[in-house]
Structure 1
Amino acid sequence: MYLLGERILPGESKTIEVEIAKLHTMNKLKVPIFIERSKIDGPTVLFSACLHGDEINGTEIIRQLIRRKINKPKRGTIICIPIINIFGFINQTREFPDKRDLNRVFPGSKTGSLASRFAHFLVSEIIPNIDYAVDFHAGGASRFNASQIRIVPNNPELKKLASVFNAPFTLFSKNIPGSFRNACTKLGVKMLLFEGGKSLDLNDSITIEGINGVKRFLYHLDMLNPKKETTTATEKTIYIEKSNWVRANFSGMFHGLIKVGSFVNKGDVLAIISDPYGKVEHKLKAPNDGYIINVNDAPIVYQGDAVFHITTHLES
């Protein structure tokens, strides 16, 4: 196979450093792409992370895949890109230097903004070479996501792959125009989007969920290195058809009472919002029965801020 103009021979390991741009200091900025090809033909799988530069838990998951040699396939080829948005990773920010969200500019343009040019590079040079992909994300700002896979509704093949990955939750969500997932779908790549943890944070439980899911995913494709054992999940993934945000009813100091992933009943107290002077406390209650799949870890909130993501309809 050929990737980025280089030939990858059967049984070969190769790291290709792609120069995507130069800093204003004229230093070259390169994105390392790790490729492991088996001697036996098979599918090509991409594991990518840090599309948003501050979502670093996915980078840790892929780092461990490489470190533990889980990325060395029994058959086929595994491509790992631990950091897509190297600019954001260096600056610990979500966006590219042009202030654009890389996950909203696909398929990009060869002559567009910096983010658009890099999106175009991924669409033209990487995506056409892959069959399956898992893209790792985390919650934005101070919001912590329970481990979950997101797939488009009414796609039996993706649903099967989600059940194989078996994160605690699987959320049906439509592709967002301009997103990496949408671009992959249009080019025939079967992608799972993993969400877990929050920005600028490493969480061991999220990392373990991601690694175990990858191993089950590769085992299903008959690609997992026989030296690596899979881990069977104790419970099956919960499919979520609809969910809503619970928003802060007052501004103040935020005292969350519910752990992410918990099931709550309508009327349960989710949090207390207080003034800073010990005079006023307001209870924030669950509007319905459901699982809490995202919690806000911010110490201070304003009225209307999204603070809990709760399921409203599960697949029966």
Structure 2
Amino acid sequence: MSATRRTLRPSFPIGTVKVRAGSRREVSLPISRLVTGAEVSLPVHVLHGREDGPTLWLSAAIHGDEVVGIEVVRRVLARLDPKTIRGTVLAVPIVNVLGVMSGDRYLPDRRDLNRSFPGSARGSLAGRIAHLMMTEVIGPSDVGIDLHTGADRRSNLPQIRCDLEDEQTRALAEAFGAPVAYHARLRDGSLRYAARERGARVLLYEGGEAWRFDEWAIVAGVDGVLRVLAHLGMIDPEEVVVEPAESPSDICWRSGWVRARRTGIVHMDVALGQRVSEGEKLGELFNSFGKRLAIVKADRDGVVIGRAEAPLVNRGDALVHIGEIESTDRSGLDEDARDTDTP
């Protein structure tokens, strides 16, 4: 018997199957049944390497309208070979299967799946899906990357949201190399909160707009995931052709939305990733007769990490999300967290 055979890793158990070392397998974990009787399952791709290493999960479409992550997962999987990776990759391209099928951000009962973790085997539909994810995917993992996009009619600059005060998590965020790394507080009921309680380090990637394959957001996501895999020693950068980040991530400790002061039609003059200064013009509001109602101005110095894409706005609507670049003053962290789309 060869040395390779003697040191082969044990098979990876998931659901009712075991995945052999050095192999790839697609597993369907039963969730529920439709009224037609057809089974709805959670799709999981398992790449179980021959050599020891971390277990990392990738998850996308926890909100049914966030399709950028689905494509990120597809492209990442196409670049990985289970015969050469070290450790195990668990990829769930569509967590909210029912939401994607119905074209809805939420589940049929209108629950937000990302407020339902860690869930329960006997709970609501959302709770059961969350419990399944926690048991089969997150529980065995050391590191997770959860892929998101902006909310309805909003687009986000590619960014990592995570606990920057945790040294290991910050190192992962820096390895990802997104334009911005944003310190986002943990929210009760979120996947990130539940996973952190289990001891996993989690990066939440935001990029692009709901229901769109924004290529710039997809490329940034694929490159970032591959960099994290290389940082963890799970892949060799030269084999997968991992491109280094163009520059270090801007670090943001707090942010806020500039809001519409009037109801009208907005014309935006600011782009994602643009540096702005307090008082700088970001756009203008007009009424239906073409009369200018207001000038939209930045309320702080920083970088544009999100913006509204809908031209018709009501007074109080969020228009431009500005993240403040790292400074020594961390008072009032995440001061406008309720409006940052932080899952």
> TM tier, shorter chain?
over 0.9
CA contact (8 A) 2:42 2:94 kept: yes
Which residue of the other structure, out of 255, 261, 272, is the alignment partner of 1:260? 272
Q: SS where residue 271 of structure 1 aligns?
A: strand
Identify the residue that residue 205 of structure 1 maps to in structure 2. Answer: 216
Whole-Å Cα distance in 2 between the matches of residues 149 and 28 of structure 1?
35
Which residue of the other structure, out of 68, 87, 95, is the alignment partner of 2:98? 87
Which residue of the other structure, out of 176, 179, 185, is the alignment partner of 1:165? 176
CA contact (8 A) 2:273 2:304 kept: yes
Identify the residue that residue 291 of structure 1 maps to in structure 2. Answer: 303
Identify the residue that residue 6 of structure 2 maps to in structure 1. Answer: none
Identify the residue that residue 258 of structure 2 maps to in structure 1. Answer: 246
Q: For residues 106 and 284 of structure 1, do their structure 2 counterparts lie closer, same or farther at Cα, with a shift above 3 Å needed? A: same
Identify the residue that residue 4 of structure 1 maps to in structure 2. Answer: 15
Which residue of the other structure, out of 104, 107, 112, is the alignment partner of 2:115? 104
Q: Partner amino acid for 2:253?
A: E
Whole-Å Cα distance in 1 between the matches of residues 208 and 274 of structure 2?
15
Q: Which residues of 2 match residues 1-316 of structure 1 at below 5 A?
A: 1-69=12-80, 74-225=85-236, 227-312=239-324, 314-315=326-327
CA contact (8 A) 2:284 2:295 kept: yes
Whole-Å Cα distance in 2 between the matches of residues 294 and 7 of structure 1?
42
Q: Partner amino acid for 2:258?
A: V
Seq. identity, %: 34
Whole-Å Cα distance in 2 between the matches of residues 223 and 71 of structure 1?
10
Deviation, structure 1 residue 315 = 3.6
CA contact (8 A) 2:250 2:325 kept: no
Q: Partner amino acid for 1:32?
A: P
CA contact (8 A) 1:72 1:78 kept: no
**Uncovered stretches (5+) of structure 1, i.e. residues with no partner:** none
CA contact (8 A) 2:266 2:285 kept: yes
Identify the residue that residue 4 of structure 2 maps to in structure 1. Answer: none
**Uncovered stretches (5+) of structure 2, i.e. residues with no partner:** 1-11, 329-343
Q: SS where residue 118 of structure 1 aligns?
A: helix
Whole-Å Cα distance in 2 between the matches of residues 153 and 216 of structure 1?
18
CA contact (8 A) 1:36 1:73 kept: no
Q: For residues 72 and 31 of structure 1, do their structure 2 counterparts lie closer, same or farther at Cα, with a shift above 3 Å needed? A: farther
Q: SS where residue 43 of structure 1 aligns?
A: strand
Deviation, structure 1 residue 38 = 1.2
Deviation, structure 1 residue 313 = 5.0
Whole-Å Cα distance in 1 between the matches of residues 79 and 324 of structure 2?
39
Q: For residues 73 and 246 of structure 1, do their structure 2 counterparts lie closer, same or farther at Cα, with a shift above 3 Å needed? A: farther
Q: SS where residue 135 of structure 1 aligns?
A: strand
Q: For residues 71 and 269 of structure 1, do their structure 2 counterparts lie closer, same or farther at Cα, with a shift above 3 Å needed? A: farther
Deviation, structure 1 residue 299 = 1.3
CA contact (8 A) 2:45 2:92 kept: yes
Q: Partner amino acid for 1:306?
A: A
Give TM-score scaled by structure 1 length: 0.96
Deviations 1:244-289 (A, max 9, x none): 1111111111111100110011221111111111233421111121
Deviation, structure 1 residue 72 = 6.7
Deviation, structure 1 residue 5 = 2.8
Q: For residues 189 and 267 of structure 1, do their structure 2 counterparts lie closer, same or farther at Cα, with a shift above 3 Å needed? A: same
Q: Partner amino acid for 1:237?
A: S
Whole-Å Cα distance in 2 between the matches of residues 38 and 315 of structure 1?
41
Q: Partner amino acid for 2:312?
A: I
RMSD: 1.5
Whole-Å Cα distance in 1 between the matches of residues 249 and 324 of structure 2?
16
Deviation, structure 1 residue 6 = 1.5
Deviations 1:100-136 (A, max 9, x none): 0000011112221111111111122221111111000
Whole-Å Cα distance in 1 between the matches of residues 184 and 170 of structure 2?
12
Q: SS where residue 44 of structure 1 aligns?
A: strand
Whole-Å Cα distance in 2 between the matches of residues 73 and 29 of structure 1?
32
The number of residue pairs the alignment matches comes to 316
CA contact (8 A) 1:47 1:133 kept: yes
